[in-house]
Amino acid sequence: MSATLPAPAPLVDSLISVDHKSIARRLLAFSLLFFLGGGVMALLMRTELAEPGLQVVSTETYNALFTMHGSTMIYLVITPLALALGLYMVPLQVGAKSVAWPRVALAGLWLFVLGGIIMQSGWLTVGGPGRATWIGVAPLSELQRTPGSGQDFWIVGVLLATLGEWLIGMCVLTTALRRRAPGMTLMRMPPFTWTMIGTTLMMIFAFPVLIVLMALLFYDRRHCCLFDGAQGPLTYQELFWFYGHPVVYVMFFPFVGAVAEVFSAFSGRRLFGYTFFVASTALLFAALSSSVWGHHMFTSGRVNTKYFALTSHGIILAAGLEYFDLIGTLWRGRLRMNVALLFGIVFLLQFLIGGLSGIWVASPTLDFNANNSYVVVGHFHYTLFAGSVFGAFAGIFYWFPKWTGAFLREGLGKLQLAIMFVGTNMTFAPMFPLGERGMTRRIANYSDHGWETLNTIATIGSYLIALGVLVFLINLYVSLRRRRVAGPDPWEGPSLEWATTSPPPPHNFDVLPPVRSFAPMMDAREAAS
């Protein structure tokens, strides 16, 4: 006599399901929630900076805001968003039935969520949350300089969230390398999967350094003095930036891969220069990313500026190959100007500004002038927001029909793009002249040295960005409430995810087409015509 266990309630099932698609959806949802919270912090800061003087928050609160805004966006938004795309799409793109080690991926999800909750819980403590910058720089983050439990919450939150992301990255990498469909050799994997391989390789080597560093910092706050003395702050920064620069590419690579898939689908062409794209992304870019951390420390006088300037400029070659391949894919293609393609094109243009300004901060002589100014703030916001976030929206509009079986509204998407494009450039472009005029980062109050007008423009732009995000949320609600049904392959995409239903079944595929190239669905359509 046998008994069958009752099926878990839908809510419980959504919490414990080991289906990679379910885990990825939850990871995506939590990153969106944290994104909204980080956006509110940014609006408060920009409102404070709209004119000289303290109008909205105190200096202490402002310190907490810029610390928690940066921490939220880096640790809890863009990195997990990239992983969510990889966790959902890589098993589908390589023809796997599931992700490798699904229970490890589930554990990674809840470690990430727990870390995010603990980090944000610092707002509820008496002394407020962490306020020692998003890098938690020592000795500022030591107990005597930043007292209160909020900084401890920040440390534990960063440690747990990073550990969870590392576990998910391990699962994605193992899936791409060990669970490919018959016929899918390494050089037949889709471009997005290759970018996730480069991403997860960097995570495997760089993220444990941050995990150990946070454990050491927590110990230091309890028992004192690991990072004191002449070498202490330098040691902390050496360790942190060994994580801190690869994570920039962790927050960039997957969105380049998503845009490559979008360009291929909406131009009707295979990715141009596929071999060079793979070499630049998974090999050259990933290798160089771990050799450039010292350019964050040029002004310390304690790093080899010639070596780190050379490796930092070497990245231009890898980036140039990617741009050449992406533009070559669009060249003479049969372009369909859908929202996903438009977001991808804007991503390409705006990230170029971030990349070109990166040459400035990677040159020691120029960086000595720009260091700790708003030039740096403008640079990394053009890479991570104007670049990565727009690339993420390209991927979301492209894959949303596969995830849900419904289309996002094109009209609302184009409205969102227009508003966010204007708002993004109004917000971040003024930061370059502000930095050149001497405005330093992380200040809540300033005297008007010709800064007020530019700061007011940037503040107006930030509210336009918020309006664009609101339009996206409305689009999400309308599209899910009044569905326009999408078939299995609405875009005529190149990769295997379009060979299954929308959304895919728990086992992902009933039948797989033969894999003879990195664009098997294009092969199948050509064979049928």
Domain membership flag for residue 527: no
Q: Look up the domain containing 165 and give its range.
A: 23-521
User: Has residue 14 been placed in a domain?
Assistant: no
- Among candidates 371, 137, 134, which has minimal Cα distance to 239? 137
pTM recorded for the entire structure: 0.94
Domain containing residue 232: CATH number: 1.20.210.10
Does some domain include residue 234? Answer: yes
6 falls within a domain: no
Whether cis (ω within 30° of 0) applies to the bond prior to 503 is: yes
Letter for the amino acid at 191? P
- Alpha-carbon distance of 210 to 166, in angstroms, equals 11
Residue 13 lies in a domain: no
Res 283: pLDDT: 77
Q: Say if CB 69 and CB 38 are below 8 A apart.
A: yes
Burial 248-269 (b: 16+ CB within 10 A, else e): bbbbbbbbbbbbbbbbbbbbeb
Cβ contacts of 206 within 8 Å, gap of 6 or more: 242, 243, 246, 247, 250, 290
As a three-state string, the secondary structure of 360-405 is HHCCHHHHHHHCCEHHHHHHHHHHHHHHHHHHHHHHHHHHHHHHHC
User: E strands along 267-347, which residues?
Assistant: none
CA distances to 59, 71, 425 from 435, rounded to whole Å, are 20, 22, 16
Which amino acid is residue 381, in one-letter code? H
The torsion angles phi and psi of 9, rounded to 5 degrees, stand at: -60, 150
Residue-level pLDDT at 5 = 55
**pLDDT (0 to 100) of residue 6:** 62
* Beta strand ranges found along 224-316 (DSSP E): none
Helix-helix angle 59-71:102-120, to 10 degrees: 170
What pLDDT score does 16 carry? Answer: 83
Q: Which residue numbers in the chain have pLDDT < 70? A: 1-11, 13-14
Tell me the torsion sign for CA atoms 34, 35, 36, 41.
positive
516 part of a folded domain: yes
The closest alpha carbon to 265, from 194, 331, 335, belongs to 335
CB atoms within 10 A of CB 132: 21
- What pLDDT does residue 7 have? 57
DSSP β-bridge partners for residue 440 = 373
Angle between helices 374-383 and 410-428 (to 10 degrees): 160
Specify if 200 maps to a domain.
yes
pLDDT at 448: 78
Give whole-number Cα distances, 485 to 88, 400, 495, in Å. 20, 11, 21
Q: Can you give the pLDDT at residue 1?
A: 46
The CB density around residue 436, as the number of other CB atoms within 10 Å, is 13
To which residue do tokens 């949350």 refer? 129
d(CA 449, CA 262): 45
Give the number of domains in the chain: 1
Count of Cβ atoms closer than 10 Å to residue 233 Cβ: 17
The span from the first CA to the last CA of the chain, in angstroms, equals 55
Residue that is written with structure tokens 């949320």 in the block: 473
Query: Rounded distance, CA 205 to CA 185, Å?
Result: 25
Q: Which residues contact 410 (CB under 8 A, 6 or more apart)?
A: 338, 339
Region of 101 on the Ramachandran plot (φ > 0 left; ψ -120 to 50 alpha; else beta)? left
Taking residue 470's Cβ as centre, other Cβ atoms within 10 Å add up to 12
5 part of a folded domain? no
- pLDDT at residue number 10: 67
